[in-house]
Each structure stands twice: as C-alpha cells, then as structure tokens.
Amino acid sequence: MTSPIETLPKEQCFGCAACAAACPTDCIEMTYGQDGFLYPQVDESRCVACGRCEGVCPALSPAAPFNTKGEYYTVQLNDRDALARSSSGGVFWGLANEVIGRSGIVVGCAMDNDMLPTHVMACSREEVMPMQGSKYVQSYVDPELYRNIKGALDSGKLVLFTGTPCQVAALTRYLGADRPNLWTVDLVCHGVASRGVWRHYVTEIEEKHRGKVVGVSFRSKKLDAHPRNHTLLFVINRLGEKSSEAFEVGGRALDDPFGSSFYHNRILRESCYTCPFSCERRVGDFTIGDYGVLDSGLPNSDGLSFCSINSVKGRQLWEETKQRFMFERLPASYSQINLEQPTLRPSGRDAMRAMRYDSEHPERDINLRLQITLADRIKQLLPEGFKAAIKRVLHKLREAG
C-alpha cells in the first residue's frame, strides 16, 4: 500500500516528523536527503494506508491559524542574568519560568552532544537553560516526543511548546484538538539551515582548531550586544584537555562562511521559500522573535524581543507573566518581513542540488562549498530598511509574474 506521505513532493515537506509519530505501525522513518535535511521514508510492506500521516501533516492538512492579527509588544526580561543568556529580550525565558513554576513542562530546542539542534522536554529551570538562544539550524523532533507531550497533557500537566511555525502546526495537528493546558510559541522564522551542512561545518571547525566543539551561540552578546547583532561563537575543548581549558572562536556571522550562507538564504530548507506560515495570522498562542528597531522606548543595548499574543489563552498566560518584563505595545502597523511573506529563494540555493550526503556519517561527503560572495559583501553595506523594501518589491513582482 502507498502512504500519502510517499506522494508529498520533497519541496513541500517541513521535516516535522509528525507523520512518523502518528503512524500506528511505525513504518515511517526520518532519513537524511541529499541536501542534509530530514525527510520521511515509508516501509510500504508495513503500511496499512490508514491515512493518519496525511491527517497530521502540516503540508497536506494545515493547522488552522488564529483568525485575527495578534497584539504586538516589544519586551525585555527584568532578570539581567537570564537576559544575558538570551539572544534578544528573553521573552521565552519569562514564559518558560512561569510554566516551570507551576510544575509544568517546557518543550524546546537544545543542542545535543554533536551540536545538532534537538527538541527536548524540561521540568526544571536548569533544564530550560540550554533552550535559550537562537538555533538557526533545523531541529529534530523525535516522533516519541510527540507521544510524550500527548501523554503529559492527558495526565493534566501544563505544557509550553516552542518551535518554528511548522513544528507548532505539526503538534497541533497531531493532538487533534486544542488543549487548555497547552501553550504554543511559534517563531518569526527566517528559515532553517541544513543539518547536514551544519554538521559538516562543525567538523571543519574541529579539524581546524584540533578540538571538540562543546558549545555554540548564533547570536552571542559577548561579541556584540547591538540589537541587530549577527554573530557566531564556538566553544572548543582541545583534544585531551579538560573542559575548564575551553577556548572560544568566532565573530560576525556575515564574515563566517556558514553564517553568510545562512543569512543570504542559500542553505535553507526548500519549503521555507514557500512557507504558508509566514504571515500575520499565526498558529501559536504566542509569536516571538528578535526586535531590531533602534528607536524603542526600552533600553536596547541588552537586546529586545518581539512578542505577539495571538489567542485568549495566550492573553491569560501573558497577564500572569508580564510582571517579569519591561514591555511596550507596538502600533498595529508594525511588521517584519517574515510576518508578511516567506524568505525569497536565491539562485545560490541551486548549489544544494549537487550535494552528496552520507546519513551514517553526517560529517562526510557534502560538496557544497560554503563561501562569502561579492554580492554578500554589497548587501552588508545596505541599510536594513532598504533591503526589506527591495524584498517586498521583488516578492510582488514574482507574484505578478
């Protein structure tokens, strides 16, 4: 029998693994494609064509978004230590602490021992800490995690889930109905980078510095606390030496081959360029992201978050949490480019079609050369507002064409 997931074009797949979680015969496995992203692979000999995979797939059966535009805020955490660990204004930490304080569970993205982003469950503040900070590589949501979240909700536990909009939509579809004890937080998502390309680059860093990468920050405030900072910092242990002797390397992400390739959209998942969730109507109870506007009334030297409250349930949690923050209401006219449209697909993305990928050895056999191009250098000199305006014009031209 043929599973509906088998007929889904790879260009539309989000790699969320909800199909594998929903399959009653466990015939779906997430495997790496040639571009270093995860895709479902179906063992047809075990498929019973029940259609559950289709029912939970956010590409085949999209989750219904909230009907109205949310209430927009710029937010900064009062806890200065937690703020320093955050990529921007720390809104995630504030929400997570509220849920943890009620003996709830927080589900979010942390780096595993191989420096690959993976969704995990946390029951304490210490377990939440690794979830802080941006991770611009696509995270893996193990199928078993979906089942564990459902089990926690069924037992009456409070759960806060944070992820990309497609991951939030996948969880919503998997659960099948709204849960009063679940809050979801989606991200203003630029797009997610290839896990394979990232792992390959980490291996290059390790070989260059003769050590083991044990930590990474995609927006390190140690290097630059500017609200528009784009940094990439690696923490490395030299081989054979103690972790206390770790050292750091890094700098501006746009001066880094991986960082430049990500920010110029060349290593994103194909479905990111047509993402249906890049719009004002959101699937999460909250939407959070970086807030890079310089004229905010709040102090922006330590970073600010954008936060949209999208549901009645979200508003209730916000009212119980807002004392943890300094915040200002943003005008209804405020927007960000990925609240209007998906990231534009660059011609450089075609280079990923030539990639070879060995799923058993993620560090090998990727022949995409990460590089900083002359066009990248020119783009770096353009003001943010001008670049956003150009993107909007190009998007409208493509729609008209």
Average pLDDT of span 142-160: 98
What the block records as the tokens of 247 is 């050292």
* Cα gap 301→292, rounded to integer Å: 11
* Cα gap 168→62, rounded to integer Å: 11
pLDDT at 66: 81
pLDDT at 111: 96
Identify whether 376 is part of a domain: yes
Identify whether 113 is part of a domain: yes
Coil vs helix vs strand at 354: helix
Query: Is residue 87 classed exposed, middle or buried when 0-12, 13-18 and 19+ CB atoms within 10 A define those classes?
Result: buried
**Could you tell me if 302 and 70 are in contact, meaning their C-beta atoms sit under 8 angstroms apart?**
no
pLDDT at 126: 97
* Dihedral angle of Cα 169, 173, 174, 176, to the nearest 10 degrees: 140
pLDDT at 366: 43
Average pLDDT of span 41-61: 92
**Could you tell me if 138 and 16 are in contact, meaning their C-beta atoms sit under 8 angstroms apart?**
no
| DSSP code at position 256 | S
Neighbours of 119 (CB within 10 A): 22
* Judgement on whether residues 275 and 259 belong to the same structural domain of the protein: no
* Judgement on whether residues 83 and 93 belong to the same structural domain of the protein: yes
Residue reference for tokens 């978050």:
305
* Cα gap 371→394, rounded to integer Å: 24
Average pLDDT of span 319-347: 92
* pLDDT tens digits along 66-109: 878 899 999 999 999 999 888 889 999 999 999 999 999 999 99
**Could you tell me if 310 and 285 are in contact, meaning their C-beta atoms sit under 8 angstroms apart?**
yes
Identify whether 313 is part of a domain: yes
* Judgement on whether residues 141 and 257 belong to the same structural domain of the protein: no
Q: Which of 32, 56, 80 is the last residue of a domain?
A: 56
The tally of CA atoms less than 13 A away on the side-chain side of residue 10 is 15
Identify whether 65 is part of a domain: no
Identify whether 64 is part of a domain: no
Contacts of 242 (CB under 8 A, 6+ apart): none
* pLDDT tens digits along 266-285: 899 999 999 999 999 999 99
The tally of CA atoms less than 13 A away on the side-chain side of residue 327 is 23
- Residue 49 sits in a domain whose CATH number is 3.30.70.20
Phi, psi (degrees; rounded to nearest 5) at 67: -75, -25
Q: Looking at the predicted structure, is the pLDDT value of residue 367 above 50?
A: no
**Could you tell me if 160 and 107 are in contact, meaning their C-beta atoms sit under 8 angstroms apart?**
yes
**Residue 247 is inside which H or E element, if any?**
strand 247-252
Domain range for residue 145? 71-191+269-339
Phi, psi (degrees; rounded to nearest 5) at 390: -65, -40
Number of structural domains the chain divides into? 3
* Judgement on whether residues 113 and 146 belong to the same structural domain of the protein: yes
* Judgement on whether residues 263 and 274 belong to the same structural domain of the protein: no
* Cα gap 78→90, rounded to integer Å: 9
| CA distances to 189, 217, 234 from 222, in Å | 24, 10, 12
Q: What percent of the chain has pLDDT over 90?
A: 57
Identify whether 203 is part of a domain: yes
- Of 51-60, 115-124, 212-221, 225-234, the poorest mean pLDDT is in 225-234
* Judgement on whether residues 215 and 295 belong to the same structural domain of the protein: no
**Which is higher by pLDDT, 379 or 231?**
231
* Cα gap 178→312, rounded to integer Å: 12
Q: Looking at the predicted structure, is the pLDDT value of residue 255 above 90?
A: no
- Of 153-167, 176-190, 274-288, 379-393, the poorest mean pLDDT is in 379-393
| CA distances to 16, 20, 163, 291, 395 from 113, in Å | 21, 24, 20, 30, 39
Q: Looking at the predicted structure, is the pLDDT value of residue 161 above 50?
A: yes
Q: Looking at the predicted structure, is the pLDDT value of residue 38 above 80?
A: yes
* Judgement on whether residues 255 and 222 belong to the same structural domain of the protein: yes
Residue 157 — pLDDT band, cuts 50, 70, 90? very high
* Judgement on whether residues 91 and 49 belong to the same structural domain of the protein: no
Q: Which of 291, 308, 339 is the last residue of a domain?
A: 339
Residue 310 — pLDDT band, cuts 50, 70, 90? very high
Residue reference for tokens 């497609």:
166
* Cα gap 128→294, rounded to integer Å: 29
